[in-house]
Amino acid sequence: MTTTQTPSQADRARFALWRDAAADKMPYLAPILFRFVPVRTTSIDSFAVDSRLRCYVNFDAVADWPQEQLAFALLHECGHVWQEHDARARAIGLSDNDAQAQRDFNAGGDAAINDDLESLGFDCTNFITPATLGEPEHLTAEHYYGVIRGKRAARQSQQGQQGQSGGEGQSGDGNGQPFRGCGSASGGQSAPCELPDDGGELGEGYGGSSGADVDAALDAVAHEISDAVRKGRGDIPGSMITEMQQRLAPPKVPWQQVLRSAVRRNLAVAGRGHRTPTRRNRRRHNATLGGRKLILPGQVKPTLDVVFVRDTSGSMSVAELNAIGNEVEGVSKAAGIKGNRLQVIDVDSVAYEPRPYAGLDTLNAVQGRGGTDMGAGLVRAAQMKPLPSLVIVGTDGGTYWPSEAPRSR
């Protein structure tokens, strides 16, 4: 029988010590470490983490571990989160229907993490590393996963026993042994103790981090690594620096060009009139046919109504807010619209009242500075009358998005 419980006060104190030791070793991972929510369980052999950053610990099983090994375990789990192994496993098509492939991806991710930890002085003798696979260091989880799968296929072919699984990374499920694996955050199997999104029987405090919160933590780690590199800290693993550079790289999509194109397209549509029987033709109101007066259809020309949803969450810098203000002004000039035709909605985790745009001074008062949910701004825009013909969202990207496309372009 397995149990999942809230940790005792003593458990929490021990966890805090392990976390502090881990943060001393790799301080740039603190944004992840300090989001971990410890959960006591007996259904795993040591540690596991899920995609909402609940950290499951078999406190009894690790009671005699030395402090350095406990710090190593937490940093190892951080590595799965930082390298986004859960999303990467899904990206290559792994599913819950292939438990062995999940375990192999978990092992590949372990190898991609442990060489970094080994370079910092941790003892990885009893753990999978690139060296144990006969591979170069600092390659990706996908590469090591491919090597592991290849070795497994060759071994099975040699033994003539298709489907036979090796000994590494076994889940322990169904054989009376505790689960061995790093949990769903690793891209591997979910641990049997993993809680539902609402925290289940442990309650609301164990709901963990949302996807947006995890993304914000990863951004914070990237900035911490960038600052440490700039200050000359030389013990940061090179692969982590590469991952930081990839995360902080400018977006490949030239959004300014996309925005200009969208505004031009909507201007063209707005300026193109069409005939309608609901309005009389004012130019040909005297037309007759066979002595009888004709009522010809008139023409209507759609107007361009734009709503600019502005991210005012705490993650937005003054420079980013100013950049959004410049884009609002640019749209105003390009389209020749202000007032009720161009409205601005400030949004953090909620949407504030729309404000007609009357120049850059309109944007001086910033409402919000809390969490981030741009979906709330799209919902608010969809409630406006008339419905906007174009909705533009200016955000740093760390946000929830609605599951359905908005009604406006």
Task: Specify the pLDDT at position 294.
Answer: 73
Q: Are 127 and 98 in contact (CB under 8 A)?
A: no
- pLDDT score recorded for residue 270: 58
Per-residue confidence (pLDDT) for residue 164, from 0 to 100:
47
**Would you kindly state where each structural domain of the chain is located, as residue ranges?**
4-248, 255-273+302-394
165, two tokens:
């699984």
* CATH no. for 255-273+302-394: 3.40.50.410
Q: What is the pLDDT of residues 260-297, one digit of tens each?
A: 777 777 766 655 555 667 667 666 666 677 777 777 77
What local confidence, expressed as pLDDT, does residue 284 receive? 67
pLDDT values of the chain reduced to their tens digit, one per residue, 409 residues: 457 999 999 999 999 999 999 999 999 999 999 999 999 999 999 999 999 999 999 999 999 999 999 999 999 999 999 999 999 999 888 888 899 999 999 999 999 999 999 999 999 999 999 999 999 999 999 999 999 999 999 998 888 755 444 434 345 545 668 999 999 999 999 999 999 999 999 998 999 999 889 999 999 999 999 999 988 888 899 999 999 998 888 766 666 777 777 777 776 665 555 566 766 766 666 667 777 777 777 665 567 889 999 999 888 888 889 889 888 988 888 778 899 999 999 999 899 999 999 998 889 899 988 888 899 999 999 999 889 988 999 998 878 788 788 888 8
The 10s digit of each residue's pLDDT in 173-202 is 456 689 999 999 999 999 999 999 999 999
Question: Rounded to whole angstroms, what are the CA distances from 311 to 31, 323, 338, 376?
Answer: 22, 11, 20, 11
